[in-house]
Amino acid sequence: MHELSVARNIVEIVEQHLPSATSRRFKTVRIRVGEIANVVPESLAFCFGALIEGTALQGSSLEIERIPLGCRCRGCHRAFQPSHFAFLCPECGNGDIEIVSGTELNVVEIELVNVEGGP
Amino acid sequence: MNVITIERKILEKNDEVALQNRTFLEKLGVVAINLLSSPGSGKTSLLECVLERLQGRVAVAVIEGDVHTDLDSQRVARYGVPVVQIVTHGGCHLEAKLVQDALARLPLERTQALFIENVGNLVCPANYDLGEAMKVVVISTTEGEDKPLKYPAAFRNAHALIINKTDLLPYLSLRVEDLKRNARQVNPALVMFETSCVTGTGIAECCEWLLGRTSVTP
């Protein structure tokens, strides 16, 4: 259950990017989570919701893009998605495999909307 | 609609501190080993066996991670090695900052190998770099041969796998070869050992390998 500390990191990073004074409302925080990043999206969204209460981010939602595990063989350069975490090249059987996606844990962007009656 | 692009790693703060730890330890010539496993696989017992065997051969220090107690550091302290206990108070993993604070309390200029015993958990600790030179995963024979497939991140990032409690094998249906095959599937580069802290099997091989990774001549 490290989703709370992950959520805390997300809030900290986003707060560093917020405009100091704005009539806009923060609507969506978008993040990218890889298949083997060991994060449960539902728990993360719950923790995020709890943490932003009473902050500038209150009311915003967390949008999570899941990135599937992707690999590439360092021998024959074949790109593949391993099944059952078999890090073996389906083409040449090589075990020297590079993980090219699926470990992501990134804050991508925040989306703001104008508040009704604002400029 | 307005969008502010951020594109930053969520765990960047941990990664930064981990890099500081790694640079600091490498400069001092300390080889740090991050020990990962599920609860009860025998990390502390293994550590005790290793400490006993390495006594007088290599200068060791230990950082113990535990959710609520200092029971493990009490056990380790009996071997006369410097030990710092980190109590996470519910936290399921160690983070680089906690380790950095612990490093400040150890006599590292006189240390060659540093064991960091993580909180018993195969999920979260796999995601937090502590600044170690290598990760070693411990799995006990009672846990089943499927664990490398269920917790791939922990096994994928490890240098070595220690299969512990081999003395129980006669009473179990576990096939060590299946466990090894699954582990190799996730990480073909894994160095594997089979140990028993009850009979002492495999401890010597483990220690020689560890010594080979430090600046000490085996």
| Domains, chain A, ordered by start | 3-69+101-114 (3.30.2320.50)
The pLDDT confidence band at residue A116, using thresholds 50, 70 and 90, is low
pLDDT at A117: 54
For testing the chain B interface, which of A16, A85, A101, A107 should be mutated: the one with the most B CBs within 10 Å?
A85
pLDDT at B189: 92
* Alpha-carbon gap, residue A55 to A40, rounded angstroms: 24
Residue A118 scores a pLDDT above 60: no
**Could you report the per-residue pLDDT of B29-44, keeping only the tens digit for each?**
999 999 999 999 999 9
Residue A1 scores a pLDDT above 70: no
Q: Is B23 helix (H, G, I), strand (E, B) or coil?
A: helix
Which tokens sit at A83? 């099944």
Mean pLDDT of B61-87: 96
Nearest to A109 among B3, B123, B188 (CB): B3
Residue A115: name the closest of A17, A21, A11 by CA. A21
Residue that the structure tokens 């299969």 belong to: B163
pLDDT at A114: 77
pLDDT at B1: 65
Q: Do A1 and B92 touch (CB under 8 A)?
A: yes
Kindly provide the ipTM of the predicted complex, given to two decimals: 0.88
The pLDDT confidence band at residue B214, using thresholds 50, 70 and 90, is confident
Chain A residues with CB-CB distance to B184 below 8 A: 95
Query: b/e map of A89-114 (b: 16 or more CB within 10 Å)?
Result: beeeebbebeeebbbbbbbbbbbbee
**Could you report the per-residue pLDDT of B92-139, keeping only the tens digit for each?**
999 999 999 999 999 999 999 999 999 999 999 999 999 999 999 999
Element (H, E) at B46: helix B43-54
Residue A22 scores a pLDDT above 80: no
Q: Is B26 helix (H, G, I), strand (E, B) or coil?
A: helix
A 5-44 near B (Cβ less than 8 A): 5-6, 9-10, 12-14, 17-19, 24, 31, 36-38
Q: What are phi and psi of B137, to 5 degrees?
A: -100, 135
Chain B residues with CB-CB distance to A38 below 8 A: 123-124, 126-127, 153
**Could you report the per-residue pLDDT of B139-189, keeping only the tens digit for each?**
999 999 999 999 999 999 999 999 999 999 999 999 999 999 999 999 999
* Alpha-carbon gap, residue B96 to B131, rounded angstroms: 7
B167 in Cβ contact with B196 (< 8 Å): yes
Q: Is B217 helix (H, G, I), strand (E, B) or coil?
A: coil
Average pLDDT across chain B, whole number = 95
pLDDT at B91: 87
**Could you report the per-residue pLDDT of B4-20, keeping only the tens digit for each?**
999 999 999 999 999 99
pLDDT at B215: 67
Nearest to B8 among A18, A24, A107 (CB): A107
A 61-100 near B (Cβ less than 8 A): 84-88, 95-97, 99
* Alpha-carbon gap, residue B92 to B98, rounded angstroms: 13
DSSP letters, A49-102, are HHHTTTSTTTT-EEEEEEE--EEEETTT--EE--STT--S-TTT----EEEEES
The pLDDT confidence band at residue A26, using thresholds 50, 70 and 90, is confident
Nearest to B149 among A14, A85, A110 (CB): A85
Mean pLDDT of A92-111: 94
Domains, in order of start, for chain B: 12-213 (3.40.50.300)
Nearest to A31 among B10, B128, B186 (CB): B10
* Alpha-carbon gap, residue B142 to B18, rounded angstroms: 33
Burial class (CB in 10 A: 0-12, 13-18, 19+), B107: exposed
Nearest CA-CA distance, residue A87 and chain B, Å: 5
pLDDT at B216: 62
Mean pLDDT of B200-206: 98
